[in-house]
Amino acid sequence: MRYWFLLCLATALFARLNPFIPTMNIENITDNHPEDIGYFTEENLYLPPTSRILKQVTLVHQNVDGSVEKVSKNIDKKIDWHYAVNISQPHDEASGRKYSYLFKKINFKNIPFIHIDAAKNALLLNTDDKILRSFMLTKPYRIVIDFERDESFLSKSRMISDSYFKKVVIGNHNGYYRTVLYLDSYYDFKVDRKDKGYLIELKQ
C-alpha cells in the first residue's frame, strides 16, 4: 500500500513538472481545424411554391481556428419560386493544389541582393543568400524569413496589389536581414529552393 502511494505521488509530481503532460484525458482533445474537403463552387436552393419574397440569406462558415459563425444579408426582394436561388463562388485553380503563376516584379531601390516577383498566391524571392529560418506570426498574419548576410541598409517596404500577399518589408539585422511577408489571412505555406532563389507558396 505504501509503495502504491509513493508511486502515485511520484507520478503526480512528474506530471506537474513536465509541461508536455496533458491535464485532460487525451480522448477529449479534438482538432478544430477545417478538413481538406475541397472548394465550394456552386449550389442551387429551391424554395416552396408559396414563396413570394426573399427576406434574408444566411451563411454559416467555419473559421481557421475551428470556430463557427454566420453572416446574414437582408434582401427583401420579390422572387419567382419556379427558379432556384443560386449560390456560387468563382474558384481559381491556382489557389488550390494546381499552381499556375503570373508574376509581377516588386522593386526595392538600393537593395541589389534580393529581387521579388509576386503572384496571386505565390512569391519568388530571387537571391543567392541562404535562409536561416522561416516562420509564421499572427496579429497580423505574416511570414518571416531570415537570410544570412551582413549588410547595412535602411529598411524598405512595398505594398502588393491583386495578391494574398499584401506587403513586403525588408529590414537589416546584425548578421542577417529579415523579409516579412504580410498576408490577408492565415495560410499554410511552403518554401522551395529554386535556381534563382526561393518560391513561397500559400495554400488555404
For the chain, list the domains and their CATH numbers.
Answer: 42-91 (no CATH), 104-203 (2.60.40.3500)
Residue 201, all three cell numbers: 507558396
* Each residue's pLDDT tens digit, 100-151: 578 999 888 889 999 999 999 999 999 999 999 999 999 999 999 999 999 8
Say whether pTM exceeds 0.85.
Answer: no
- Strands, E, within 91-174: which ranges? 104-106, 115-118, 122-126, 131-137, 142-148, 156-159, 165-173
What does DSSP assign to residue 23? S
Report how far residue 201's alpha carbon sits from residue 100's, in angstroms, rounded to the nearest whole number.
11
pLDDT in tens, 187-199: 999 999 988 899 9
Buried/exposed 85-95: b ≥16 CB within 10 Å, e otherwise = eeeeeeeeebb
Kindly report, residue by residue over 3-40, the tens digit of the pLDDT.
444 444 444 444 333 333 333 332 333 334 445 677 88
